Amino acid sequence: MSGNVRRGAAPHTGSTAFINARIVDPTADAEYTGAILISDGKIADFGPNLFASGAPYGIESVDCRGLHLAPGIVDARVHTGEPGEEHKETLESAGIAAAVGGITSLVLLPDNEPPFDDASLIEFVARRARQVKLANMYAYGALTVGLEGQHLAEMGLLAEAGAVAFTDADHAVGNAQVMRRALYYAKAFDALIVHLPQEPSLSGGNMTSGVMATRLGLSGVPPLAEVMMVERDIRLAEMTGGRVHLTKISTAESVKAIASAKARGLKITCDTAPPYFALNDLAVGDYRTFGKLVPPLRAEGDREAVVEGLKTGVIDAIVSDHRPQDQDSKRVPFASAEPGGVGLETLLPISLELVHNKHLTLPQLFQRLSAAPAQLFNLPGGKLAKGAPADLVLFDSDYAWQVDRDDLWSKTKNSPFDERPVQGLVMATIVGGRTIYRHDNFTPAAAAA
Amino acid sequence: MLGIEGLSPETISGLLDLSESYIPQNQSIDKRRDLLTGRTVINLFFENSTRTRTSFEVAAKRLGADVINMDVATSSVKKGETLLDTAMTLNAMRPDAIVVRHSESGAVNLLSQKVNCTVINAGDGQHEHPTQALLDALTIRRRRGTLEGLLVAICGDIMHSRVARSNIHLLQIMGARVRVVGPPTLMPTDIDKMGVEVHYNMRTGLKDVDIVMMLRLQTERMQGSFVPSISEYFRFFGLDSEKLKVAKPNALIMHPGPMNRGVEIDSEVADDLDRSVIHEQVEMGVAVRMACLDALIGGRRNAMGAAA
């Protein structure tokens, strides 16, 4: 992709008007042609009638030429290699990839080396994010010490240092007593616990159980490894009154279990990631290690159920689940390969398939991508509101292109969507009023009136 | 040659015919031809296997090729070299064929993407072991004349067996019917979707079968994780003359070796000269591997078409 990432742009001052845009407002569930006025990095005004009679006089205006303008994406599940594995991804390279992907806020997973089970790590991330000056970067605190699922991490101190939620990343907490105490304890700080529901004793395999795994001779992870844990967590949440958010939902049974928990009025929320609504276990064919993920890619019926869950709103949010892996981690036999895929730059185009295939409207999609995660993690962006930060994404929803791993800005290229034809491309990303990324095809003519 | 899956019946028949043509040579006094003179074959075994490696070595030498056995246990692989680096290093020495065995499924496919010589899969993890299936087919064909219409029971640890998978593919491609028999804990998920009949009981599983293929049960899987004990396994899933009674009277007994006598097979049936073809399987193994080397690097590549 060709475009310009502008690192370290100065804070936005004065006023800028984005006119002639197709505005996507997830909170109001509306899409219309109109304008957004930003002042000193915040949204000052927006609506269909704003500047309807022409470009404003005396302030900078950007003609969006009918492209879509939506609240920037809030990606609640990003892993980088910093600190610990900077050769895979740094906060800066992840920030660049996020900018290119239209992501204006991201929440960093705590499973680095060292893991974020100490307040100093949360402060480190915040300091580095200020230096990098791209997307807003937040961090999870570890739920348990060393992500080992045994002893509670210092949730209060981590929260004070800025941790926005707590999780053991891709490690499920197998011990129900530990999870129960974590949910109870978190209530003291009204903290959100994010859990990957996978029964550990059933999750040792390399791909989803089924005829494909049997043919390839790979050990399987049964889909019920997920729903068992979903059901346990639902019971624990009910018992403790704690807030649990289940992440990377990938099976039909899990969607069903969460739907019924929500119907009973429990405080359960959940998300999924593009691989689980756009791919199935066939993507692993011929031992493609880029398709090795946690949880594993599931059967087609599960994929369809995840799409349905997004449609009905049972699944609240979409995350990229960005996990860079270098060649040494992926160019090995399947069982030895590290799981995970990069996802920052493909999050929007793959998610737009849900709109092109008429499963969601654009406002509904941005509810899942921006508004819901911002609300869940109590972050300032993700919505159009007067006084909200001017975090916006400008995109061409129809732009056709093909994912090519060599063109990705991420430091590593392990995309499960490599070579996939997609529709939709980010033209500009605006964080706090600063345009941090602009695609070459979008050059705002007559920027200043 | 990475696997049986996807081969056509014509390719398989062609390979079996070619194998058959090597049997007289192997039985004569002068066993050496110079078809592969000047060709280099590397046996790259990441997993110990005396019989398969020896069989490939004998096959290549009888065709006049130079054979190098890579002893991986003492090589740079142990020093941390990756599979692909090993592959590229060997590739740079310009071998004509590399015969690979590896403990991980798909490792041979991966290696084959990085070299430009012929790669023959000598067994990868729990995926495929194509020359074993071919030698089993040759053994059966010589005894029964055809594979078509035969009823074959594959018994034992289906889950961890690449031999089972390659045989299921080959037998079905050639028109045989396949049953898999064993304890449910050793059945892979959805194995029935591969077109086989599943039995958890030797009495129903062996009923009226033409061929009984026993599989080896690894010791580490008998100690409570998959089956409770050796004696219980042998009692219910080991092949003995009693269980064999329900099979056809002339049913052949096969085993890919090495056998665990008293675990999956009773000595009485293993050594039954009328029905056990276990040693014949080993003999056919050499012929089949000669045929594969011939077809793949013997300059007849065009004639064999898709065999590569």
Q: Which helix (H) or strand (E) holds A62?
A: strand A60-63
| Cα-Cα-Cα-Cα dihedral sign, residues A307, A308, A312, A315 | negative
Give the span between the Cα atoms of A114 and B194, in whole angstroms. 46
Asked if residue A377 has pLDDT above 70, the reply is yes
What's the ipTM? 0.89
Average pLDDT, chain A: 95
CA-based end-to-end distance of chain B: 6
Contact at CB, B104 and A211, closer than 8 angstroms = no
Contact at CB, B189 and A218, closer than 8 angstroms = no
Distance from CA of A224 to the nearest CA of B (A): 13
Per-residue pLDDT band for B187 (boundaries 50, 70, 90) equals: very high
**A426: left (phi > 0), else alpha (psi -120 to 50), else beta?**
beta
State how far the alpha carbon of B35 is from the alpha carbons of B17, B41, B54, B287, in Å.
Answer: 17, 13, 19, 14
pLDDT at B109: 95
Work out how many CB contacts closer than 8 A connect A with B: 72
Per cent of chain B over pLDDT 70 is 93
Q: Is A333 on the interface with B (CB under 8 A)?
A: yes
Residue A352 burial class via C-beta count within 10 angstroms: exposed 0-12, middle 13-18, buried 19 and up: buried
Q: How many CB atoms lie within 10 A of CB A261?
A: 23
Q: Identify all chain B residues contacting A216, using CB atoms and an 8 Å cutoff.
A: 105-106, 127
- The residue in chain B having the minimum alpha-carbon distance to the alpha carbon of residue A223 is B189
Contact at CB, A214 and B102, closer than 8 angstroms = no
Residues on chain B bordering chain A, Cβ-to-Cβ distance under 8 angstroms: 5, 82-84, 102, 104-107, 109-110, 124-128, 162, 165, 188-191, 193-194
Option in B83, B106, B110 nearest A216 (CB):
B106
Show which residues of A are catalytic. 321
Structure token digits, residue A210: 């089924």
Distance from CA of A175 to the nearest CA of B (A): 22
Question: Cβ distance A367 to A26 under 8 Å?
Answer: yes
- pLDDT, tens only, A225-277: 999 999 999 999 999 999 999 999 999 999 999 999 999 999 899 999 999 99
Q: Is A201 on the interface with B (CB under 8 A)?
A: no
Question: Cβ distance B125 to B106 under 8 Å?
Answer: yes
Q: Is A387 on the interface with B (CB under 8 A)?
A: no
pLDDT at A1: 58
pLDDT at A447: 42
pTM tops 0.90: yes
Q: Which residues of B65-85 are buried (b: 16+ CB within 10 A; e: fewer)?
A: bebbebebeeeebeeeeebbe
Q: Identify all chain B residues contacting A326, using CB atoms and an 8 Å cutoff.
A: none
Residue A220 burial class via C-beta count within 10 angstroms: exposed 0-12, middle 13-18, buried 19 and up: buried
- pLDDT, tens only, A88-131: 999 999 999 999 999 999 999 999 999 999 999 999 999 999 99
Strands A434-439 and A421-431: what pairing? antiparallel
- Candidates B112, B165, B189, B191: best to mutate against A (most CBs of A within 10 A) is B189
For the segment B240-255, the average pLDDT, to the nearest whole number, is 96
Asked if residue B124 has pLDDT above 50, the reply is yes
3-class SS of residue B261: strand
Q: Quick check: bond before A83 cis, omega within 30? A: yes
Asked if residue A448 has pLDDT above 60, the reply is no
State how far the alpha carbon of B63 is from the alpha carbons of A404, B14, B98, B282, B297, in Å.
Answer: 46, 19, 16, 18, 11
Q: Identify all chain A residues contacting B178, using CB atoms and an 8 Å cutoff.
A: none
- pLDDT, tens only, A15-62: 999 999 999 999 999 999 999 999 999 999 999 999 888 777 888 999
Distance from CA of B87 to the nearest CA of A (A): 12
Instruction: State phi, psi for A432 to the nearest 5 degrees.
Output: 55, 35
State how far the alpha carbon of B49 is from the alpha carbons of B69, B161, B257, in Å.
Answer: 12, 15, 11
Per cent of chain B over pLDDT 90 is 83
Option in A209, A220, A336 nearest B104 (CB):
A336
- pLDDT, tens only, B65-108: 999 998 776 565 666 678 888 899 999 999 999 999 999 999 99
User: At residue B190, what is the residue type?
Assistant: D
Distance from CA of A336 to the nearest CA of B (A): 8
Q: Which residues of B92-113 are buried (b: 16+ CB within 10 A; e: fewer)?
A: eeebbbbbbbbebbbbbbbbbe
Asked if residue B218 has pLDDT above 90, the reply is no
